[in-house]
């Protein structure tokens, strides 16, 4: 297992508690996602009609090793009767493990008031337990819970295990318990590798709350949160840990999401983590073999699916924004619209009936084929588009929300543009505008399905190599919305999700998506667009009165912003001016945005005002239709 031939994600495992459903559902999902093994979480087994022997067979049939049985709680006690009961309980659980065919059990440090707080006595009790386990060919992986009564750091758990000195007793290290307390994992490298019986990996956002609640509800898969897991994993591997990379993630959303989806998300997180560690410390072994992410070069195009109703409305808005129709697909009902380096495809194939939606993102990749190979290696569903012999073979994958992501090059003669027959029109700006116009796509705003928000962040981070920004939350009129951008130099995708929207009151389940076009002078570009008939969204006067009170902008500029419905966010880096169109064809709108100075956000603070204005329009327009 050691040396240069080692692969860091050679054995991956997942605790059944990470996944929703029955034990049978969970095992099937783990196997389908390509995991090599599982940790069997006791409550999943207890609720299952499968006997331990049947679970063993099921796992074998699925090609899954059972790597760990967990958890065994409160092993020690200052009360001799309670410790005797603990030994009895352990023997019963050893019976279960033997039937399951698993040799290691996770033993948690006690959280009870009767926890032993004398290291010698605790070591003695664990030694007794280990003696029982060893006699049956089993072993105990002792873990310091971050909220353990006495043992709550890995340093202390190691002190106790070293003192107990029994071959059937070793450590379980859990990244959450260690990193949530701010412990330095570097010291792990000094622990003998053969005493590291098991490793559990979990990420989490930084939260200021009770650590138990944080642990039980808000863990995430590696790469979705804020922990530096490569820095955690490196010393564990350096110590000689040779067991599986295993995930133990308690998460309220994953607990209720489709487990087949969650398992793929989980496995992707381990592959990306192994890659990151291999890149940082090559001596520890090779990564899982995905090609590194090719350099991205910005948004090549954004495709909207439109129907006969929405299509003309969207096309008219694009024309008013200065776009021209420059091409038509050679074999499909798809038009290419351009303004500067901003490109929009309007796709009118029948399956987009109902409402306009963003169906695909074209991302400039220095090596589209390598991008697609990487995506496939990271468990992304690769799209095989039928295409004519003389058309470009576009490399594409499906993002968690169903949006297709094309890796492509605009600057080659064999790229995606060759699929479009030129109309003869030159790219916009079109309406006699000699002033500043749209230059390119600044970002795309995608509302995510609730169950798949964190999955989407990890997808874009790992598959495309984008960098997740910190999450922010805003409170629009109909319930909280979380925003999180993923980006690199040229590509920005603004992800958002309604945090709690349910029931029949809150409207707008199909929250609109948008494409934001960059301009160097939003006031001039917006004025030209409005004069050409672009349906710019009206913003209440109250917003501008408040803006004046808060930021005291130049009065003439404020008047222009008020006239055009331009919103303004300001932070210590600069300013962000943005204006939206009305929602077009059901679910899509456009933005014109201008970044001043080093402003690097998305104007999220103004989102509630924008959302209220969009919503109001919808109410106003739907009113006459009522009986």
Binding site for a second copy (CB under 8 A): 20-22, 25, 42-52, 85, 88-89, 92-93, 95-96, 207-210, 213, 252-253, 255-259, 261, 449-451, 475, 477-480, 498-506, 538, 540-543, 545-546, 548-550, 552, 608-609, 612-613, 615-616
- Min CB(449)–a second copy separation in Å: 7
Concatenate the DSSP letters of all residues of 531-571 into one string: HTT--BPP--HHHHHHHHHHH---HHHHHHHHHHT-EEEE-
Closest to a second copy by CB, 263 or 321: 263
Comparing CB distances to a second copy, the nearer of 99 and 119 is 99
Q: CA 471, CA 482: separation in Å to the nearest integer?
A: 7
Task: Determine the Cα–Cα distance for residues 271 and 620; give it in Å rounded to an integer.
Answer: 50
Task: Specify the residue, 121 or 216, whose C-beta has the smaller distance to a second copy.
Answer: 216
The residues, ordered by sequence, that sit 6+ positions from 487 with a Cβ below 8 Å of its Cβ are 443, 466, 467, 469, 493
C-beta of 214 vs 514, nearer to a second copy: 214
Phi, psi (rounded to 5 degrees) for 133 = -65, -50
Lookup: tokens for 114: 């009767």
From the CB of 509, what's the least distance to a second copy, in Å? 10
User: In whole angstroms, how close is the CB of 513 to a second copy at the nearest point?
Assistant: 19
Q: How far apart are CA 308 and CA 310, in angstroms?
A: 6
CA-based nearest residue to 310, from 351, 346, 339: 346
Q: What's the closest the beta carbon of residue 93 comes to a second copy, in angstroms?
A: 6
Cβ atoms of residues 438 and 517 within 8 Å:
yes
Judged by beta carbon, residue 145 or residue 437, the one nearer a second copy is: 145
Nearest-angstrom CA–CA distance, 104 and 66: 9
**CB 218, min distance to a second copy, A:** 11
DSSP E strand boundaries for 30-123: 37-41, 65-72, 104-108
Which of 446, 444, 453 lies closest to 500, judged by CA? 453
| Of residues 351 and 541, the one with the C-beta less far from a second copy | 541
CA distance linking residue 18 with residue 246, whole number of Å: 11
Q: For the CB of residue 287, give the shortest distance to a second copy in the complex, in Å.
A: 31
Q: How far is the CB of 72 from a second copy (least distance, A)?
A: 10
For residue 71, say if its preceding peptide bond is cis, omega within 30 degrees of 0. Answer: yes
Nearer Cβ to a second copy, position 373 or 615?
615
Cα gap 15→20, rounded to integer Å: 11
Residue whose CB is less far from a second copy, 240 or 449: 449
CB of 73 to a second copy, least distance (A): 10
DSSP state of 521: -
Q: How many CB atoms lie within 10 A of CB 514?
A: 23
CB of 593 within 8 A of CB of 522? yes
Q: How far is the CB of 442 from a second copy (least distance, A)?
A: 24
> CB 568 → a second copy: shortest distance, Å?
13
Pull the structure tokens for residue 539: 């913003």
Extract the tokens encoding 447.
Answer: 């509302």
Q: Toward a second copy, which CB reaches closer, 213 or 423?
A: 213
Smaller CB separation from a second copy, 228 or 252: 252
């Amino acid at each position: 297992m050691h040396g240069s031939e080692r692969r860091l994600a050679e054995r991956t495992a997942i605790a059944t508690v990470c996944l929703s459903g029955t034990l049978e559902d969970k095992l099937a999902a783990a196997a389908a996602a390509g995991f090599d093994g599982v940790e069997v979480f006791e409550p999943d087994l207890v609720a299952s009609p499968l006997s331990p022997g049947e679970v063993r067979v099921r796992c074998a049939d699925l090609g899954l090793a059972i790597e760990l049985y967990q958890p065994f709680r409160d092993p020690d006690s200052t009360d001799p009767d309670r410790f005797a009961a603990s030994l009895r309980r352990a023997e019963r659980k050893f019976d279960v493990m033997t039937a399951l065919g698993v040799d290691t059990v996770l033993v948690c440090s006690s959280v009870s008031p009767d926890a032993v707080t004398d290291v010698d006595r605790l070591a003695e009790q664990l030694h007794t337990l280990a003696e029982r386990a060893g006699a049956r060919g089993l072993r105990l992986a002792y873990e310091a819970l971050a909220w353990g009564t006495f043992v709550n750091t890995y340093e202390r758990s190691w002190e106790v295990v070293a003192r107990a000195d029994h071959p059937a007793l070793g450590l379980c290290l859990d990244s959450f318990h260690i990193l949530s307390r701010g412990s330095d994992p570097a010291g792990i490298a000094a622990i003998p590798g053969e005493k590291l019986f098991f490793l559990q990996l979990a990420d989490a956002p930084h939260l200021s709350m009770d650590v138990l609640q944080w642990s039980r509800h808000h863990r995430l898969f590696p790469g979705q949160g804020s922990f530096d897991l490569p820095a955690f994993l490196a010393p564990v591997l350096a110590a000689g840990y040779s067991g599986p990379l295993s995930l133990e993630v308690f998460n309220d959303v994953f607990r209720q999401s489709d487990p087949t989806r969650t398992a793929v998300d989980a496995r992707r997180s381990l592959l990306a983590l192994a890659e990151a560690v291999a890149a940082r410390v090559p001596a520890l072994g090779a990564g899982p073999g995905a090609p590194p992410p090719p350099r991205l070069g910005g948004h090549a195009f954004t495709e909207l699916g439109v129907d006969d109703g929405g299509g003309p409305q969207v096309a008219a808005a694009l024309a008013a924004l200065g776009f021209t129709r420059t091409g038509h697909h050679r074999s499909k009902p798809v038009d290419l619209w351009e303004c500067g380096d901003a490109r929009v495809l309007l796709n009118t194939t029948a399956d987009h009936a109902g409402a306009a939606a963003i169906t695909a993102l074209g991302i400039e990749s220095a090596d589209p084929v390598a991008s697609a190979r990487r995506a496939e290696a990271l468990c992304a569903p690769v799209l095989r588009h039928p295409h004519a012999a003389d058309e470009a073979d576009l490399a594409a994958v499906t993002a968690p929300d169903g949006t297709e992501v094309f890796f492509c090059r605009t600057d080659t003669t064999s790229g995606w543009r060759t699929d479009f027959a030129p109309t003869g029109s030159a790219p916009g700006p079109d309406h006699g505008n000699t002033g500043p116009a749209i230059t390119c796509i600044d970002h795309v705003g995608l509302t995510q399905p609730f169950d798949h928000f964190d999955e989407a962040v990890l997808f874009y981070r790992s598959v495309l190599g984008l960098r997740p920004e910190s999450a922010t939350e805003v409170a629009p009129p109909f319930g909280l919305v979380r925003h999180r951008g993923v980006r690199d130099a040229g590509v920005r995708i603004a992800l958002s999700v309604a945090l709690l929207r349910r029931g029949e009151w809150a409207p707008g389940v199909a929250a609109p998506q948008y494409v934001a076009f960059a301009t160097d002078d939003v006031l001039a570009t917006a004025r030209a667009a409005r004069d050409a008939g672009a349906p710019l969204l009206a913003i209440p006067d109250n917003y501008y009165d408040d803006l004046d009170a808060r930021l005291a902008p130049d009065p003439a500029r404020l008047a222009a912003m008020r006239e055009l419905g331009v919103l303004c966010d300001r932070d210590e880096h600069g300013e962000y001016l943005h204006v939206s169109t009305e929602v077009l064809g059901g679910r899509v709108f456009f933005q014109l945005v201008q970044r001043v100075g080093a402003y690097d956000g998305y104007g999220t603070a103004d989102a509630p005002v924008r959302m209220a204005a969009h919503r109001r329009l919808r109410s106003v327009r739907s009113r006459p239709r009522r009986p």
